Structure 1
């Protein structure tokens, strides 16, 4: 089995703002104060959400049920004490399209969360 190591580089801009991404690739802003960009904890929710969202869209297309509309919300519950890690993350999906019924949507979501999304 091959092990893949991913790397990112961060550069401090000002205040609590950083830019980062894969070396030589696209960058994203991270603002630890959540003022000008999402902070690290929100970025984690965005990463998890966009990972499963992309999976669900691809799976539904393979099921011959391409979505016409898709949106989702991701909510994370954090510990009260430090370190304030997430103890639970909840995903709410909203999607519609021809051929998309609840069992098909549920199957795509379950495959994403249980098999494909690696975040």
Structure 2
């Protein structure tokens, strides 16, 4: 069984600005390649990666009956520094900052790992050669290091 396709409309709003949203109406988001009135297209992609994985983390921890009290994800994307376009994404690093009274580190790390490697459709839609690394700060305490999700498809 397949889901209906996602449909969005992108409307030019002058200069390098576009208002985008579902084709059937509803809320819109401003995308601004000059980053004056909204995030640029690459930032929007990084926002999508961070929020897609965050949804899964929240859901996984809720199913464990260890609800998240707060969560933020800092996403740093490195781009190819060649002189010619496209300056594609070559590496992503996500820093998850989670608070929750009953959340155990091992369960939060497992939730992030599953979100990044298995459940996030945005991550799965990126070039599989792009490494995605992540770290966890749980209740203000940093982890022991960086985890690499590995290359998708290998």
TM-score of the superposed pair, with normalisation by structure 1 = 0.93
Alpha-carbon distance between aligned partners in 2 of 1:12 and 1:96, rounded to the nearest angstrom: 40
* Secondary structure of 2:44's aligned partner: helix
Counterparts of 2:69 and 2:2, CA distance in 1: 37
Bigger fraction of residues in helix: 1
CA RMSD of aligned residues (A): 1.2
Partner of 2:116: 113
Number of the residue aligned with 1:93? 96
The count of corresponding residues between Structure 1 and Structure 2 is 119
Alignment of 1:16-27 (within 5 A): 16-23=16-23, 24-27=25-28
SS of the residue corresponding to residue 9 of structure 1 reads strand
How far apart are 1:3 and its partner, in Å?
Answer: 6.1
Could you give the per-residue CA deviations for residues 49-101 of structure 1, whole angstroms, max 9, x where no partner exists? 00011110111000111011211100001001221010111110011112212
**Alpha-carbon deviations, 1:9-60, whole Å to 9, x = none?**
1111111111011112321100010111101010000000000111101110
**Structure with more contact order per residue of length (Cα contacts < 8 Å, sep ≥ 6):** 1
| Structure 2, gaps ≥5 residues long | 123-154
Report the TM-score when normalising by structure 2.
0.73
